[in-house]
């Protein structure tokens, strides 16, 4: 198909009505009436840098690109609103593959009630997605920043870590999963390929007076460091308390690395937040309704940076040396 025809098909899939959308794409720009405050985040997923096409099905790639962007809205406690998606299509991806990418975007958009308000398609040397998401809140103060952590706050983490890094290793070397049950291995791969953005949980943490919040995309130590720097505090985190996804410990053993290396691997898109110790129980109760564990993994102290400790003592928060 020609670029114009493909563009028309893409626009059709990438455009829909939404509560705040007055004009969808197909015009020069999408027109919305936001009201209140907006949170806007951009993210790109580039073949050969962030994913490999032979390991990631087209629909997963589309879903993950949107998920990574939406995760930033979750980390602000914003309600998801609109998404704008640029798809760069290489010559060797056929129309079917291109539509599968879009279907992946669309499916997650539907599941998260995000309006696809605009998009564009272009030729590209590699498959790439550039996603802009806009979230909403009644007022700027309702959005949780990275900079509000206070000394004495508890450091809490949603869900479980390590699955994305373990899933990547499984995809790269399937034999590592020989000892795993099939559904456990499958969920590890899915965590890498199609992460889920913690939008509802982020909103609940915001409502439960989280003082600071960030999503764990770069890795626990790195993202805790971003939060510590923005807040002008130190985060002391006990890696022994970090819940690991089912199969991570077994996969780590098979791969000959310590579990905390996988827990530090990033891309799990869980939320790391600080909040007063007295508010932890209320937050846990709220997230319990989503069947999402909320675990106290550390404390906010005076100082700077991150102190990570594991079973055998201190651990490099960035963990670069340990990661292949």
Which residues in this chain contact a copy of itself in the complex, by CB under 8 A?
A: 22-23, 26-34, 36-44, 46-50, 72-73, 75-76, 78, 82, 84-86, 88, 117-120, 122-126, 128, 130, 132-135, 140, 143, 145-147, 213-215, 230
Q: How far apart are CB 210 and a copy of itself at their closest, in Å?
A: 12
Alpha carbon dihedral 300, 37, 216, 41, in 10-degree steps, equals -140
Q: What angle do CA 42, 222, 210 make, to 5 degrees?
A: 75
Residue 120 or 238 with smaller CB distance to a copy of itself? 120
Angstrom distance (rounded) from CA 143 to CA 205: 10
Residue 30 or 287 with smaller CB distance to a copy of itself? 30
Q: What angle do CA 292, 298, 299 make, to 5 degrees?
A: 120
Residue 22 or 241 with smaller CB distance to a copy of itself? 22
Residue 99 or 128 with smaller CB distance to a copy of itself? 128
Structure tokens at 152: 């004495």
Q: How far apart are CB 74 and a copy of itself at their closest, in Å?
A: 8
CA distances from 167 to 119, 126, 181, 264 (A): 30, 23, 13, 13
Residue 19 or 36 with smaller CB distance to a copy of itself? 36
- Per the CB < 8 A criterion, the answer to whether 290 and 197 are in contact is no
Residues 6+ apart with CB under 8 A from 218: 226, 266
Q: What angle do CA 82, 83, 89 make, to 5 degrees?
A: 160
Q: How far apart are CB 185 and a copy of itself at their closest, in Å?
A: 29
Residue 117 or 156 with smaller CB distance to a copy of itself? 117
Angstrom distance (rounded) from CA 206 to CA 79: 11
DSSP structure class, residue 272:
E
Residue 1 or 42 with smaller CB distance to a copy of itself? 42
């Amino acid at each position: 198909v020609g670029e114009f025809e493909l563009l028309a098909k893409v626009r059709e899939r990438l455009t829909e009505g939404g509560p705040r959308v007055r004009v969808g794409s197909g015009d020069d720009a999408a027109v919305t009436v936001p009201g209140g405050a907006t949170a806007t985040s951009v993210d790109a997923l580039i073949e050969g840098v962030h994913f490999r096409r032979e390991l990631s099905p087209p629909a997963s790639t589309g879903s993950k690109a949107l998920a990574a962007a939406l995760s930033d809205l979750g980390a602000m406690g914003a309600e998801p609103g609109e998404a704008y998606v640029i798809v760069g299509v290489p010559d060797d991806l056929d129309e079917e593959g291109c539509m599968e990418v879009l279907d992946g975007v669309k499916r997650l958009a539907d599941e998260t009630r995000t309006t696809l308000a605009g998009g564009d398609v272009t030729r590209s040397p590699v498959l790439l997605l550039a996603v802009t998401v806009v979230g909403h809140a009644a007022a700027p103060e309702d959005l949780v920043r990275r900079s509000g952590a206070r000394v004495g706050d508890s450091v809490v983490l949603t869900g479980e870590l390590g699955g994305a890094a373990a899933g990547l290793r499984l995809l790269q070397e399937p034999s590592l999963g020989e000892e795993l049950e099939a559904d456990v291995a499958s969920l590890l791969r899915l965590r890498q390929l199609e992460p889920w953005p913690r939008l509802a949980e982020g909103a609940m943490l915001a409502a439960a007076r989280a003082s600071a919040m960030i999503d764990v995309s770069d890795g626990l130590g790195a993202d805790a460091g971003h939060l510590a720097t923005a807040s002008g505090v130190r985060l002391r985190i006990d890696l022994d308390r970090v819940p690991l996804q089912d199969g991570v410990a077994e996969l780590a053993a098979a791969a000959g690395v310590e579990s905390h290396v996988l827990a530090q691997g990033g891309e799990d898109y869980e939320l790391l937040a600080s909040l007063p110790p007295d508010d932890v129980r209320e937050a846990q109760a709220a997230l319990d309704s989503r069947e999402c564990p909320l675990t106290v993994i550390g404390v906010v102290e005076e100082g700077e940076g991150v102190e990570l400790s594991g079973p055998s003592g201190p651990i490099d928060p960035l963990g670069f040396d340990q990661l292949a």
